[in-house]
Amino acid sequence: MASTEIARQAGEGARAVPLSGHVGFDSMPDQLVNKSVNHGFCFNILCVGETGLGKSTLMDTLFNTKFEGEPTQHNQPGVTLKSNTYELQESNVRLKLTMVNTVGFGDQINKEDSYKSIVEFIDAQFEAYLQEELKIKRTLHSYHDTRIHACLYFIAPTGHSLKSLDLVTMKKLDSKVNIIPIIAKSDAISKSELAKFKIKITSELVSNGVQIYQFPTDDESVAEINSTMNSHLPFAVVGSTEEVKIGNKMVKARQYPWGTVQVENENHCDFVKLREMLIRVNMEDLREQTHTRHYELYRRCKLEEMGFKDTDPDSKPFSLQETYEAKRNEFMGELQKKEEEMRQMFVQRVKEKEAELKEAEKELHEKFDRLKKLHQDEKKKLEEKKKALDDEVNTFKQKKTAAELLLNQAQQAGGSTTLKRDKERKN
């Protein structure tokens, strides 16, 4: 069959034919649901926010449980990320939930690099997934996907504006993750201030070009609620796991001397909106956006960096093998060039060392000759001195012998005169 014929039948030109009875492929959606339920789901949340802003409390409130976690001290030398994975089950649906927390965020005097460890963490999860995808034997089906699906960015309830740390961090993260900004501990801010604060935050995000996650409006069934919720961003939330009796119902609330803030009361805060949007309506879209937008961007950049392209300079499709071979040749060429450079450098260094050694040897010889001459001169001088001394000694000896001789003669002469005098006295 001609290829155009196959294309026509498989593509747009396929003919619609009526069925004369029940076939059964209308169960495809159910088959999909069953498969997904059996497999279970995974969802990964990253909580970015200053120490003590209520991150853990909000997570506990959102998932109606008590996750482990100790409060962080404010003396961390840098920002680190801590990840915990939990298995949750609601009716027959299993959810593998990973919560990642920024430990020490906002606690350093110099906060310039605070975003770096967060970016690195997100990239590391993308890289792990990419490596799994590039394996020959892939196990993506059972692979624990740790890519971050939603980033809850906790804004301090200052009522003023965003801090530069918030803007810088969100700007660095917006192409890598779905950011949902939330005003934390919003019970600390009055109703009118909150409205102004929300407007201020939104305008600052827009003027700084920070792209936050927009709830999707392309699916008719959720378009209305999502577009309404988009206008409520950033959500102002309150977290609490404490239950208080209101009327005849126990509700999650925070009690103050002047009144009670009910977490799930939409007049008190946007907690319900957040839960609705994050978990009940858009969890799948967050997962999908992570894969089709953020991961895709990471993968594209990474593969382009590695030299892969879809088309050659003449806009013809590039095969993976050709790209690989071209890159390999380029790499081998560079390697050879580097090797040659290193060889040349080595030869040059050896030559330099040799010249240095020769110079040192020459200097040593000269020094030796100098010392030898000095020694000879010294020896000569000493010999001359010795000779002079020997002469002196000889002269002295001669003089001494002559003196002794004279003395003897004198003594002998003196002795005969005394004898003569004695004889004369006796007579």
Residues that bind Mg ion (CB under 5 A): 55-56, 69
* Residues 200, 267 contacting (CB under 8 angstroms): no
Cα distance between residue 118 and residue 81, in whole Å: 7
What per-residue string of b and e applies to 156-193 under the rule 16 or more CB within 10 Å gives b? bbeeeebeebbbbbbbbbbebbbbbbbbbbbbebeeee
Cβ proximity to Mg ion, 59 vs 210, nearer residue: 59
Angle made by CA atoms 408, 410, 411, in degrees to the nearest 5: 65
* Residues 81, 187 contacting (CB under 8 angstroms): no
Q: Is residue 185 within the footprint of ligand GTP (CB under 6 A)?
A: yes
Question: Measured from the CB of residue 294, what is the shortest distance to ligand GTP in angstroms?
Answer: 25
Given candidates 128, 188, 222, 272, which one binds ligand GTP under the rule CB under 6 A? Answer: 188
Question: Measured from the CB of residue 118, what is the shortest distance to Mg ion in angstroms?
Answer: 16
Given candidates 44, 51, 98, 290, which one binds ligand GTP under the rule CB under 6 A? Answer: 51
Site map (CB under 6 A) of ligand GTP, residues 136-155, x = contact? --------------------
Cβ proximity to ligand GTP, 67 vs 324, nearer residue: 67
Cβ proximity to ligand GTP, 55 vs 149, nearer residue: 55
Site map (CB under 6 A) of ligand GTP, residues 56-75, x = contact? xx-------------xx---
Binder of residue 188, out of Mg ion, ligand GTP, none (CB less than 5 to 8 A by kind): ligand GTP
Question: Measured from the CB of residue 184, what is the shortest distance to ligand GTP in angstroms?
Answer: 6
Cβ proximity to ligand GTP, 49 vs 234, nearer residue: 49
* Residues 40, 94 contacting (CB under 8 angstroms): yes
* Residues 122, 154 contacting (CB under 8 angstroms): no
* Residues 147, 288 contacting (CB under 8 angstroms): no
Cβ proximity to Mg ion, 27 vs 65, nearer residue: 65
Which residue's CB atom is positioned nearest to Mg ion?
Answer: 56
Cβ proximity to ligand GTP, 162 vs 274, nearer residue: 274
Which residue's CB atom is positioned nearest to ligand GTP?
Answer: 54
Angle made by CA atoms 239, 152, 102, in degrees to the nearest 5: 95
Neighbour count for residue 58 (Cβ, 10 Å):
26
Residue 419, both tokens: 């004898």
Cα distance between residue 214 and residue 179, in whole Å: 9
Q: Is residue 238 within the footprint of ligand GTP (CB under 6 A)?
A: yes
Given the rule CB under 6 A, which residues bind ligand GTP?
Answer: 49, 51-57, 71-72, 185, 187-188, 238-239, 254
